[in-house]
Amino acid sequence: MTDADYVETLRANREEKDDFFGSHPQSPVPPEARDGFDGLDYFEPAPAYRVETTVTRHEDPEPVPMETNTGDEVRYVRIVTFEFELADERHRLHGYKQRPEDGEEAVFVPFRDKTTGQQTYRGGRYLELHPEDELEGGETVVIDFNLAYTPFCAFSDAFSCPLPPEENWLDAVVRAGERDWSA
């Protein structure tokens, strides 16, 4: 896929998401705010933020408690670590599942970066990976930060969302994906 095709596909996906958020009964945007909702705010599509990562699989996954925006705690299991280069620096993010035995469950990658609380939601953003098979150590996987999204709790107090653990705080600026919609 060319960069132009990628950008066109990404824009179409964003338009579809905006339509859902603006009108669907299951939208996280409160019903009283949907009439005035004119779409999410996004960084410009940036193919450079599609990074190849090397996977390290954790054969004996460790539980990682994550605090939520409501003060509760949820437990995830760290199943993989992704290592990659971004802006000429090496970085690492961890991927989690609540039920590691569930092959259908997405790999959850919550993160914070240098835009958090300024250009993006103060609670961090999320990525999800949906690999066809279990991720294997040494495998190369693309993480696309253009798909980074704001958790539902940013839109309504009705949602409780896990906050990225400190091990997933990037010391980098990631100007890709969704911006803070309320800013």
The whole-angstrom separation of Cα 89 and Cα 174 is 13
Q: Percent of the chain scored above 90 by pLDDT?
A: 80
Work out the average pLDDT over 23-51: 93
Tokens of 109: 């990658």
* Residue 183 pLDDT: 54
Arithmetic mean of pLDDT over the chain: 93
Task: Identify the residue with better confidence: 35 or 49.
Answer: 49
Question: pLDDT at residue 91 above 60?
Answer: yes
Q: Percent of the chain scored above 70 by pLDDT?
A: 99
H/E stretch holding 18:
helix 3-23
Question: pLDDT at residue 10 above 90?
Answer: yes
Q: What share of the chain is helix, strand, coil (3-state, %, to 5)?
A: 20, 35, 45
Question: pLDDT at residue 100 above 80?
Answer: no
Work out the average pLDDT over 72-99: 95
For 178, which DSSP code? B
Question: Whole-angstrom distance between the N-terminal and C-terminal Cα of the chain?
Answer: 33
pLDDT tens string 117-173: 999 999 999 999 998 888 888 999 999 999 999 999 999 989 999 999 999 999 999
**pTM for the whole structure:** 0.93
Where do the domains of the chain lie?
48-168
- Which amino acid, one-letter code, is at 118? Q
* Residue 101 pLDDT: 78
H/E stretch holding 92:
strand 89-97
Question: pLDDT at residue 103 above 80?
Answer: no
